[in-house]
């Protein structure tokens, strides 16, 4: 089961702020001026705006993902719990799984 890290800082720009800034950018203002007025990085706004235009041209209606997210997981949370339960049960009945093979003890 993966370790769940607790965030120590609040990084990233909220989606509503990026959408407002992107709308102002579409009105003809420069990216740098809009970014400065909203106190966000001009590169972040440029990338968001470029991605937004690309998604709109493709006809996508799903909301854009912003910020930081976890990498792709191999197992879902439910599958991890099932695997953990199986390994614990197998260890209890001594099915030949050592603690190192289980990966439960570091």
Condensed to tens digits (0 to 9), the pLDDT of residues 18-58 reads 888 988 877 888 899 999 999 999 998 998 888 888 888 88
Q: Is position 63 within any domain?
A: no
Whole-angstrom CA distances from 100 to 81, 91, 104 are 18, 11, 7
Q: Is position 4 within any domain?
A: no
Q: Is position 10 within any domain?
A: no
- Residues 27 and 49 both lie in one domain: yes
Query: What end-to-end distance do the CA atoms of the chain give, in Å?
Result: 13
Count of domains for the chain: 2
Both tokens of 1, joined, read 């089961």
Q: Which domain holds residue 26?
A: 15-58
Q: Is position 50 within any domain?
A: yes
Q: Is position 53 within any domain?
A: yes
Q: Is position 74 within any domain?
A: yes
Quickly state the pLDDT bin for 66 (edges 50, 70, 90).
confident
Whole-angstrom CA distances from 16 to 49, 64, 65, 74, 104 are 13, 11, 12, 31, 42
Beta strands in 1-106, from DSSP E residues, in sequence order: none
Entry pTM: 0.54
Q: Is position 7 within any domain?
A: no
């Amino acid at each position: 089961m993966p370790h769940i890290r607790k965030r120590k800082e609040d990084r990233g720009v909220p989606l509503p702020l990026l959408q407002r800034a992107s709308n102002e950018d579409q009105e003809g203002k420069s990216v740098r001026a809009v970014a400065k007025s909203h106190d966000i990085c001009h590169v972040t706004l440029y990338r968001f705006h470029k991605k937004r235009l690309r998604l709109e041209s493709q006809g996508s209606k799903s909301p854009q993902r912003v910020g930081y997210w976890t990498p792709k997981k191999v197992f879902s949370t439910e599958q991890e719990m099932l695997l953990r339960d199986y390994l614990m049960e197998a260890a209890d009945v001594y099915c030949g799984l050592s603690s190192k093979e289980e990966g439960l003890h570091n």
